[in-house]
Amino acid sequence: MKRKNMEFLEKRIEEAEKSQANQAAAAKESATDPDILTAVLQECQSPSEPSNSGRTRSRGGIGRKLIMAADEKLLQGEQLGLFTSFPVADKKSIPTLLARLPIFIPVPASKQARLLDHDLAYPFETPFGRGRRFGPPVTIEDEDVLFAMMQLSERRLIGKGTHLPIPIASDQWLRDDAGNLTVQVTIATIGQINNEIGLSRAGKNYKATLASIKRLSHVGIELEIRRKDLYLGDSWNGESIRLVDIKWRVFEEEGLVFAQFSPIMVKWLKEQATYYNWSIRRQIKSANGRALHRFLSTQGKHYIAELNYIANAIEWDGDRSRLRPRMEAVLRQLRDQLDWCDYEITGTGRTTPFVLEFWRRRT
């Protein structure tokens, strides 16, 4: 009788262990759902729905709940061993190469059609490299949104490409020795992104930022650069690069954004990054001015170049016959109001070209 009882108990224990293993496998499979936000948002009440007290929730309240739920989902994935996470040490840097190339240009989207090639891609060629940008026409305003999401990023994840919150099938040439990829993630509301940029919570700003997020999710670049080993590693020439994958969900008054910066962006941020003064950028109103500040931030403390060279490098928008006074207006603000630099412009623009000599006072 005792033997039968022991056999019965052993069988029940075996069945329980199998059941637990099956449940863990199912949970792991669920956590690798490419739309990581689906389960999160199903648990969140729409901000337009009344709470139990009959009062409408505030936008800030639903935003905090959305972010907490998404953080919990990431924690669940880490606990299941899908990936490991660690905090972002320096959020004040931007990839140097990205800042030097005219991916995000000060030309309005409505005027970019004339710049596209037969594949409807935007081609560019600079001393730092040449390539093409694919996808919708993006501008300095879209770069504002991208940089704001980078500022709000809190952690990096390391794991197999198929186990990351937004699975990655490409970029395998960036795997480490264990076959893992590293990405950087941001969980934020659209309101937080607008606040980081310095925009009000007005409905038009909400709509504009949401439209920008949709554009950013479709941008890809093709690069051929001089220091391929430094910036791209062991990749093929003409490798198509995605900067960021984005998932979003919107309600009537708030939206949650999950941005996963690609392994190549993380490589640039870790190995070839430039400290960037985000507070200065937010005080520059013109798109040309923000593009100029971004470009000069990647140069040394002392830099000399012709104005036309700089204008071509950043795709300066507007009448080039008025280039000197318009560019000098930006430099004057950077010097006199923001205490960022000193400068001198020499030349006549006729017999000798206009040349900028630039000294950066602080980062």
List, in sequence order, the alpha helices (H) in 232-360. 263-271, 278-281, 287-297, 307-314, 323-332
- Phi, psi (rounded to 5 degrees) for 229: -65, -30
What is the tens place of the pLDDT at every residue in 111-142? 999 999 999 999 998 877 789 999 999 999 99
Residues 234 and 360 in one domain: no
CATH of the domain at 343: 1.10.10.10
Confidence bin at 57 (pLDDT 50/70/90): very low
pLDDT score of 352 more than 50: yes
- Give the C-alpha separation, 299 to 103, whole Å: 17
Residues 263 and 154 in one domain: yes
pLDDT score of 39 more than 70: no
Asked which of 230, 257, 274 is the last residue of a domain, the reply is 274
Mean pLDDT within 10-16: 56
What is the tens place of the pLDDT at every residue in 274-308? 889 999 999 999 999 999 999 999 998 999 999 99
pTM value surpassing 0.75:
yes
pLDDT of residue 313: 93
Say what the alpha-carbon torsion angle 228, 234, 236, 239 is, to the nearest 10 degrees.
-80
Whether 33 maps to a domain, the answer reads yes
Residues 53 and 181 in one domain: yes
Residues 122 and 183 in one domain: yes
pLDDT of residue 32: 43
- Give the C-alpha separation, 29 to 269, whole Å: 31
3-state secondary structure of 49: coil
Q: Higher confidence at residue 52 or residue 91?
A: 91
pLDDT of residue 251: 64
**Angle, to 10 degrees, between the axis of helix 307-314 and the axis of helix 287-297?**
100
pLDDT of residue 13: 52
Asked which of 240, 274, 308 is the last residue of a domain, the reply is 274
Residues 184 and 311 in one domain: no
Residues 253 and 110 in one domain: yes
What is the tens place of the pLDDT at every residue in 233-247? 544 455 678 899 999
DSSP-derived secondary structure letter, 50: B
| C-alpha distance from residue 198 to each of 62, 106, 225, 308, 340 (Å) | 21, 18, 34, 31, 20
Whether 5 maps to a domain, the answer reads no
Whether 343 maps to a domain, the answer reads yes
Residues 198 and 320 in one domain: no
| C-alpha distance from residue 240 to each of 99, 166, 171, 261 (Å) | 18, 18, 9, 15
Overall number of domains in the chain: 2
Residues 308 and 259 in one domain: no
What is the tens place of the pLDDT at every residue in 188-221? 999 999 999 999 888 899 999 999 999 999 999 9
| C-alpha distance from residue 187 to each of 132, 153, 157, 184 (Å) | 29, 7, 13, 10
Triad 241, 243, 249: Cα angle to 5°: 130
Residues 6+ apart with CB under 8 A from 41: 66, 69, 249, 256
Residues 328 and 286 sit within 8 Å (Cβ to Cβ)? no
Whether 351 maps to a domain, the answer reads yes
- Phi, psi (rounded to 5 degrees) for 208: -65, -40
Residues 266 and 317 in one domain: no
pLDDT of residue 34: 44
Whether 7 maps to a domain, the answer reads no
**CB count in 10 Å sphere of residue 232:** 22
**Structure-block tokens of residue 116:** 């596209």
Whether 241 maps to a domain, the answer reads yes
Residues 6+ apart with CB under 8 A from 125: none
Residues 165 and 50 in one domain: yes
Asked which of 247, 274, 301 is the last residue of a domain, the reply is 274
Residues 189 and 98 sit within 8 Å (Cβ to Cβ)? no
Counting residues of the chain whose pLDDT is more than 70, the rounded percentage is: 77
Whether 15 maps to a domain, the answer reads no
**Which domain range does residue 129 map to?**
21-274
**Angle, to 10 degrees, between the axis of helix 307-314 and the axis of helix 323-332?**
80
Which residue's structure tokens are 């439209």? 211
Residues 135 and 266 in one domain: yes
Arithmetic mean of pLDDT over the chain: 82
Residues 217 and 281 in one domain: no
Which residue's structure tokens are 């997020």? 213
Whether 12 maps to a domain, the answer reads no
Mean pLDDT within 91-117: 93
List, in sequence order, the alpha helices (H) in 80-189. 96-100, 140-151
